Amino acid sequence: MSFYAIYNPASGSYSKSKIDYIIKYFSDNYSIDLVAVESKYQGFAKDFFESKNPKLVIIIGGDGFIRDVVEGLYYNKIKTKIYFIPLGTVNVLCRELSIGSNYKTALKRFDINSTALPMRIGIAGDRVFIQMMGFGLDAVSVKNINLNIKKYIGKYAYVISGIKGMLMKYTTINVFFDKKFYKPCHMIVSIGNLYAGSFKIYNKKSDYFKVLMAEKNNFKEILKYLIHIFTFYKCLPIFLTNVIKIENVKDAQLDGDYVNFDGKDLLIRLVTTDLSILKPRG
């Protein structure tokens, strides 16, 4: 078999009935017999696909799980078509690609004969991100999130954690790109334009990283940073680049998952993979 549907039973809106519905949908509408694969641990996809040669991989879950599977496919140097079915809390990538944030909508927009476009990803050291990574307030908000609260209120748990994070003190980080040096306290590096669902940090199409920074550690600067992210008023500059170097990185978030880089220097690159995303209908 070379058609796989890999899913995360820990995703925010997972249920066995949804997985059964998805598998049946592909069988009934496209005569595709998907092999359903349950991910059992972080990094499972890298181990599972090591000896596989898939023609199509359907990734079912949230942004963090999609990132984990894409990382596994990328490091196994697999060339295949992929499509995403959202079952996460926020589903930023699926929104970005106009796949939608509902699994039934994503199924209706699937087309096995549609154009497949090469997938671009971010590489941070040896870690992959599919949509965004963040430092400062962005990272701490993810690090300190209460997972029990998240089960009940979903993405609003990030808001609560973010408000608490605004009261903390942050040190600056050394950032280099395009022959210039910056010392922000907070920074977002994004492949797409969307943040935390449907909020836009940038309004134009671009094939570069979008970099947003708050360079002062005070309430006024953080407020401007948040206004830029969560409102239509864009009050901070967006920098476009495809390679970034950061010194002494500790806390970071990759697609909503906290990562401790343990004080390493980090090279962040935008790369094009051998993975091709099927364009959704419409």
Give me the percent of the chain exceeding a pLDDT of 70.
Answer: 93
pLDDT at 191 over 90: yes
d(CA 131, CA 189): 9
- Which of 3, 75, 64 has its CA nearest to residue 39? 64
145: pLDDT strictly greater than 80: no
What b-and-e string marks burial along 145-173, b requiring 16 or more CB atoms within 10 Å of the CB?
A: beeeebeeeebebbebbbeebeeeebeeb
Contact 130, 121 (CB under 8 A): yes
Q: How confident is the model at residue 244 (pLDDT cuts 50, 70, 90)?
A: very high
Which carries the bigger pLDDT value, residue 165 or residue 126? 126
206/149 Cα distance (integer angstroms): 36
Intra-chain end-to-end CA distance of the chain, in Å: 30
Name the residue among 122, 95, 133, 99 with its Cα closest to residue 273: 122
Which residue type occupies 196?
A
pLDDT band (50, 70, 90) for residue 103:
very high
User: What is the mean predicted confidence (pLDDT) over 209-233?
Assistant: 89
Is residue 166 pLDDT above 90, yes or no?
Answer: no
- Sort strands 3-7 and 56-61 into parallel, antiparallel or unpaired: parallel
Check if the beta carbon of residue 39 is closer than 8 Å to that of residue 65.
yes
Confidence grade of residue 148 (pLDDT, cut at 50, 70, 90): low
Q: Which residue has the tokens 């408000």?
A: 163
Res 149: pLDDT: 60
